[in-house]
Structure 1
Amino acid sequence: MLERKYGWTIEADIHGMRVLEAKRELETLIGRADKSIREIVVIHGYHGGSALKNMVRSELRHPRIQQKILSLNQGETTLLLKKP
């Protein structure tokens, strides 16, 4: 699920997860992310339905999320994190 892309960016692939499972995983990841992490690129896909995409873009809330950046790639969303 997790891969470091750059020093300040990590990628989380939630393909194939159920919505509640993915939401819990992302909330935990955001809460435990090192202070140096500024972005989490969430790969949710879009061909298999929109439930995961909708959860990430509309329902996911966390105090560290500063902004959600919608990608030209409909299968991913970038979470910009606040500086702790």
Structure 2
Amino acid sequence: MSEAFVKIDLHGLRQEEAIKVIDKAIAAAGPATYHLQLIHGYNRGTSLRSMIYDWYKYEPKVKRIMPGDNPGITVLVLKELY
């Protein structure tokens, strides 16, 4: 993965499936990848949003977790921009 900001669409995935997709993206993230933008949706995506915060808050490669531009997006920061 060579993009600095990677978008991952998690719509329609169960929590277990989403974890596999996110874990694979984290493992594939190269030195140029700063953020993983996880698109989970707002109404039906709230369980995924909660899972992302709970599951990845202690992941060593994730520097911090922050909300995206709208409530249906969560961003995993792998590397700070500065």
TM-score (norm 2): 0.82
Q: Does 1:68 align with 2:65?
A: yes
Query: Comparing both chains, which one has the higher relative contact order based on Cα–Cα distances under 8 Å and sequence gaps of 6 or more?
Result: 2
Residue 23 of structure 1 corresponds to 19
Q: Give yes or no for contact 1:9–1:41 (8 Å, CA) kept in 2.
A: yes
What displacement does 1:11 show?
0.4
Which residue, out of 46, 53, 56, partners 2:49? Answer: 53
Structure 1: tracts of 5 or more residues without a match: none
Give the 4+ runs in structure 1 shifted more than 4 A.
none
CA deviations 1:31-81 (Å, max 9, x no partner) are 111111011110011211521111112222422100101135110011110
CA RMSD between the two structures: 1.9
Consecutive unaligned residues in structure 2, runs of 5 or more: none
How many percent identity over aligned positions? 28
More strand by share: 1
**Taking structure 1 as the reference length, what is the TM-score of the superposition?**
0.80
